[in-house]
């Protein structure tokens, strides 16, 4: 088990600062008064993304419309792109050994694939999680890629990273998941790790930490990790740098 001090190193690993994608200095000329609901919901999203909100089950009911607006608008994509850019900048700074042991871990749902169409039909996170209903969606295998994640994924492969997919999906969803990933454009992963019977009942943090620890025991060096949940990233056997992509719809402990 990695010590807290080692865990710390993920966060403070030096990284090249990226340049803003827009070079023009622009300001807003007109300001509209924002509704208190929207302002609160922006604050709630920030609290959730920074893990200040702790464990939560459903999004605040007052935030359904603001969260939908955010997810369907340009800000969400921008937020995603900027984080993917930081991840790629860090990746380029890694000294790849060339022995195939430099790993980048990706979560799948809301990280490589977007289930926005499912959540759109289920209140954008305002309805409690329904495992049966979500399993039906998974079996359809129609979740598209996030463009930013697909670009990052491909760029990491070109840089020489070994890609390992680590998901909370169950082992019996393997073939549907593989097909969906390939249909969405992903290929060339080294392993797809799903929850086996022995992993049932474990928190995502414990399950994913254990899986990462096994990789390290095998000699892999986990350089980077991208996930939409803090439980994808924290725990033990953490990556050198972890990247939390936004997801204001649900929280998995």
Distance of closest approach, residue 195 Cβ to a copy of itself, in angstroms: 18
Q: Which is nearer to a copy of itself, 55 or 132 (CB)?
A: 55
Distance of closest approach, residue 238 Cβ to a copy of itself, in angstroms: 7
Stretch (H or E) spanning 103: strand 102-106
Q: Which is nearer to a copy of itself, 100 or 253 (CB)?
A: 253
Q: Which is nearer to a copy of itself, 118 or 243 (CB)?
A: 243
Cβ atoms of residues 55 and 129 within 8 Å:
no
Closest C-alpha among 225, 148, 230 to residue 193 = 225
Distances (CA, A) of 18 to 12, 31, 89, 92, 159: 16, 29, 7, 12, 18
Q: Which is nearer to a copy of itself, 57 or 98 (CB)?
A: 57
Distance of closest approach, residue 50 Cβ to a copy of itself, in angstroms: 5
Q: Which is nearer to a copy of itself, 180 or 209 (CB)?
A: 209
Distance of closest approach, residue 83 Cβ to a copy of itself, in angstroms: 5
Whole-angstrom distance, CA of residue 235 vs CA of residue 182: 30
Closest C-alpha among 219, 175, 220, 167 to residue 196 = 167
Distance of closest approach, residue 80 Cβ to a copy of itself, in angstroms: 8
Whole-angstrom distance, CA of residue 96 vs CA of residue 161: 7
Q: Which is nearer to a copy of itself, 123 or 185 (CB)?
A: 123
Cβ atoms of residues 226 and 155 within 8 Å:
no
**Terminal-to-terminal C-alpha distance of the chain:** 19
Cβ atoms of residues 158 and 187 within 8 Å:
no
Distance of closest approach, residue 102 Cβ to a copy of itself, in angstroms: 18
């Amino acid at each position: 088990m990695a010590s807290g001090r080692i865990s710390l190193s993920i966060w403070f690993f030096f990284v090249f600062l990226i340049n803003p994608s827009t070079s023009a200095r622009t300001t807003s000329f007109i300001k509209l008064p924002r509704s208190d609901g929207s302002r609160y919901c922006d604050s709630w999203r920030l609290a959730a993304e920074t893990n200040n909100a702790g464990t939560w089950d459903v999004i605040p009911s007052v935030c359904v419309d603001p969260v939908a607006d955010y997810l369907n608008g340009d800000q969400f994509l921008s937020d995603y792109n900027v984080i993917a850019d930081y991840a790629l900048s860090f990746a380029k700074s890694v000294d790849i050994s060339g022995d195939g042991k430099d790993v980048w871990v990706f979560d799948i749902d809301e990280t490589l694939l977007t289930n926005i169409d499912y959540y759109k039909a289920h209140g954008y996170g305002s309805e409690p999680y329904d495992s049966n209903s979500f399993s039906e969606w998974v079996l359809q295998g129609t979740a598209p890629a996030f463009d930013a994640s697909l670009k990052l994924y491909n760029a990491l492969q070109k840089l020489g990273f070994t890609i390992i997919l680590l998901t909370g999906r169950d082992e019996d969803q393997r073939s549907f998941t593989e097909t969906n990933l390939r249909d969405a454009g992903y290929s060339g992963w080294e392993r797809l790790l799903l929850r086996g019977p022995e992993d049932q009942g474990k928190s995502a943090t414990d399950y994913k930490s254990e899986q990462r620890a096994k990789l390290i025991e095998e000699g892999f060096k986990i350089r980077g990790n991208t996930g939409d949940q803090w439980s994808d990233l924290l725990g033990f056997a953490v990556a050198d740098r972890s990247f939390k992509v936004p997801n204001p719809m649900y929280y998995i402990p």
